[in-house]
Copies of this chain bind each other. A is one copy, B any other.
Amino acid sequence: MTQPTAAMLVIGDEILSGRTRDANAHLLAQRMTGLGIRLVEIRVIPDIRATIVASVRELSARVTYLFTSGGIGPTHDDITADAVAEAFGAPIGVRDDARAILEAYYKPGELNEARLRMARIPEGATLIDNPLSHAPGFVIGNCHVMAGVPSIFAVMLEGLAPRLVGGPPILSHSFRVMLPEGELAEPLGRVAAAHPDISIGCYPFFRLTAGATIILRGTDPGALARAADEMRAMLAARAPQIEETPPGAATEDAR
């Protein structure tokens, strides 16, 4: 079974200006790894229609699933829905199903013209549920258009996850040792060369003295365990102390 792939398109001037630190790509990355979907690119672009259209076309042609965040609110700078419709050559307008969702949510008189913009959905797209602020996302082709506000992005992604077809989960096994990576590099390269089906990364950190975290990743539990056994033996001969995290939930490393 081949691994499905994904790409993330973060749309927003506020990320590129440094005003906001994006949180959605990191959440998506963790979720994709859990689902056995390989995230191959994250791209952050400005709120420029031509750039959105070109990026959606390029990335959607290259991956199994494309996800976008940002630009689907009611204000003048929210142009993602129209740009994605253009990328897929789909007509777009206020759609009855989306309008009904907003009508049920807003009090009479509150659903003004600006808010109604959030019911602009391309023809043929299916809606993505938004239990938080109700304005829906949508899926057209392989492109999943979601909100930029992290709490809304997160609930949309949770709702979507059961619809995504993953591959074998990407397992990881990590070692943390208080040795500078410059001393580990040569034997580590040998273990890596002996296990070409396991991706092995080494991430240095600096506390009072230098250390390194080594991550082994692969989809075959047996191959991963064999690589880990060899790695453990290699490290035991060199490091006074080894912290080891066998396959399980991926955890964020604070570096």
Contact = CB atoms under 8 A, between A and B. Distances in A.
Contacts of A114: 182-183, 185-186, 189
Contact of A200 (B19, B77, B182, B202): B77
Interface stretch (A33-41, A88-96, A136-144, A228-236): A33-41
B43 A202 contact: no
A253 B19 contact: yes
A64 to B, nearest CB: 15
A255 interface: yes
B32 A15 contact: no
A252 B21 contact: yes
Interface in A193-236: 193, 199-206, 215, 217
A238 interface: no
A31 interface: yes
A255 B20 contact: yes
A19 B202 contact: no
Interface of A: 10, 12-23, 25-33, 38-47, 73-77, 110, 112-115, 117-118, 132-133, 149-151, 170, 172, 181-186, 188-189, 192-193, 199-206, 215, 217, 250-253, 255
